[in-house]
Amino acid sequence: MSRLVVISNRVADPRKLAAGGLAVALGETLQQTGGLWFGWSGAITDDEEGSDAPPRTRTSGKVTLATIDLCRSDYDSYYEGYSNSVLWPVFHYRLDLAKFNTRDLAGYRRVNQLFARKLQPLLRDDDILWVHDYHLIPLAAELRALGCQQRIGFFLHIPLPPDLILAAIPQHEWLMRSLFAYDLVGLQSEADVAHCMRYMTNEGNALLLPDQRLQAFGATVQVKAFPIGIDVDEFERLAKTTEAAETYARVCAEYSRRQLLLGIDRLDYSKGIPQRVRAFRELLERYPDNQHSATLLMIASPSRDTVNAYADLRQELEGLCGAINGDFGDLEWMPLRYIHRTVARKRVPALCRASRVCLVTPLRDGMNLVAKEYVASQDPDDPGVLVLSRFAGAAEQLLDALLVNPYDTQGMAESIQTALHMPLKERKRRHRALLDNVRTFNVHWWRQAFLDALKQA
């Protein structure tokens, strides 16, 4: 059987629990199949010349982890620069936040070349390579340039925007041309696939072939949707741990007289966190019966806080949260609890289960795993309600959630009110349908569907 080689920006120990959708999903995948996981160690060195040393390797269960370090200037331009200040905002439709410059582009190319150079000696002829996410779009092209002929698939965890937004990236032709070095490009949703095909045909003059294959630049690539899922069984196991039981009991006791609403995200401008707080404020104003009876618990784990846009977001959010508590709170009740820290993963299912409503309100999101985790955590006999942005990839699948437009503060407040008062029968019906979907399209389905398609591509 071919060995699976996963390549992503960061490598996480699959036996340790991490925050971040990609780390969670890939850890679960490799723990099952075994193989090699290659990426950046997370360390930044002073060695600007670059080292000839081979990647450091160690094993964790069935997985070999191989990592390389980055020097400061590569980190700045590849990671903070091109990846997180160009590709992340543009792919989330935020051209206004993109900072285009040729220095960062050069760093992005250099690091992709470095990844290719360091990975190639570790590869076997019959390996199957699975490259992840926007940091590594040109990696297959760099590997092909070194003579690699293995099957290589790419999965984009973030959304792929419409053609004219992509075309605003000054070097978009180069970037998208490099997608043709893959055998298969996987995206999160059918909407993303439609954008990609339109982009490739309009901007790249690609020829559309049967089975969602596109031909251009002397190569053929297949583009398909593989909505990522969660490991429902593992999540249920987590919910049964002592920490989870303790958290659940404590939260239930603390909020026994109140309805808890929950938000869990990385603190990122794509997640619609300020919009959620504004809708909660609107809820308290329009439906004052919620004052003293509803509390919004918002856990926003720190993320990329050295990038300016993230520092601005943090400031905005602190202002909004402080104002709500100042305007509505009193000695008995604070409407909002905002925690800017990562909570232990074992506590996540307990927090989900103890909450009557979960607010997942991204302005744009590839998928959003929190939405699925919330569904998987519920008591089927008394489930909570998922309020989900129609702009999350998950909205294509989770049609029985209360779908909202996060830009519509009033509409969102009304949906939250509906969620808080939804009769048990309707909650159960919606939850059954949602859980069915989350169970069927779980992380194992995702991995298998992608790898089967890659083998056939």
Of 290 and 368, nearer to ligand GDG (C-beta) is: 368
Of 144 and 157, nearer to ligand GDG (C-beta) is: 157
Rounded to 10 degrees, the C-alpha dihedral 369/372/373/376 comes to -160
Structure tokens at 387: 């309020």
SS (H, E, C) 346-375: HHHHHHHHHCCEEEECCCCECCCHHHHHHH
Residue 348 sits at the vertex; the CA angle it makes with 343 and 350, to the nearest 5 degrees, is 125
Which residue of the set 163, 183, 231, 365 is catalytic? 365
Which residue of the set 92, 132, 135, 157 is catalytic? 157
Of 26 and 206, nearer to ligand GDG (C-beta) is: 26
Of 25 and 68, nearer to ligand GDG (C-beta) is: 25
Q: Which residue has the tokens 């080292």?
A: 51
Quote the CA–CA distance of 203 and 200 in Å, as a whole number.
6
Q: Tell me whether residue 135 is one of the annotated catalytic residues.
A: no
Instruction: In angstroms, give the least distance from the CB of 188 to ligand GDG.
Output: 7
Of 367 and 457, nearer to ligand GDG (C-beta) is: 367
Amino acid letter for position 272: G
Instruction: In angstroms, give the least distance from the CB of 289 to ligand GDG.
Output: 30
Instruction: In angstroms, give the least distance from the CB of 342 to ligand GDG.
Output: 4
Quote the CA–CA distance of 339 and 276 in Å, as a whole number.
15
Instruction: In angstroms, give the least distance from the CB of 388 to ligand GDG.
Output: 12
Quote the CA–CA distance of 139 and 335 in Å, as a whole number.
47
Instruction: In angstroms, give the least distance from the CB of 28 to ligand GDG.
Output: 10
Instruction: In angstroms, give the least distance from the CB of 187 to ligand GDG.
Output: 11
> What letters, b where the CB count within 10 A reaches 16 and e where it falls short, cover 11-20?
bbebeebbbb
Instruction: In angstroms, give the least distance from the CB of 83 to ligand GDG.
Output: 13
Element (H, E) at 294: strand 294-301
Please give the residue whose beta carbon sits closest to ligand GDG in the complex.
21
> Site residues (CB under 6 A) for ligand GDG?
19-22, 24-25, 157-158, 228, 264, 266, 299, 301, 342-345, 348, 365-370, 373
Assess contact for 200 and 176: CB atoms under 8 A: yes
Assess contact for 331 and 108: CB atoms under 8 A: no
Of 257 and 341, nearer to ligand GDG (C-beta) is: 341
Q: Label residue 121 exposed, middle or buried (CB < 10 Å: 0-12, 13-18, 19+).
A: exposed
Of 128 and 348, nearer to ligand GDG (C-beta) is: 348
Phi, psi of 191 (to 5 degrees): -60, -45
Count other C-beta atoms under 10 Å from residue 431's C-beta: 22
Q: Tell me whether residue 157 is one of the annotated catalytic residues.
A: yes
Of 140 and 187, nearer to ligand GDG (C-beta) is: 187
Question: What order of strands is seen across the sheet that includes strand 184-187?
Answer: 56-60, 63-71, 35-45, 4-10, 128-132, 151-155, 184-187, 219-225, 213-216, 207-209
Amino acid letter for position 160: L
Number of H helices, E strands in the chain: 17, 16
Instruction: In angstroms, give the least distance from the CB of 332 to ligand GDG.
Output: 27
Question: By three-state DSSP, how is residue 149 classified?
Answer: coil
Q: Which residues are catalytic?
A: 157, 365
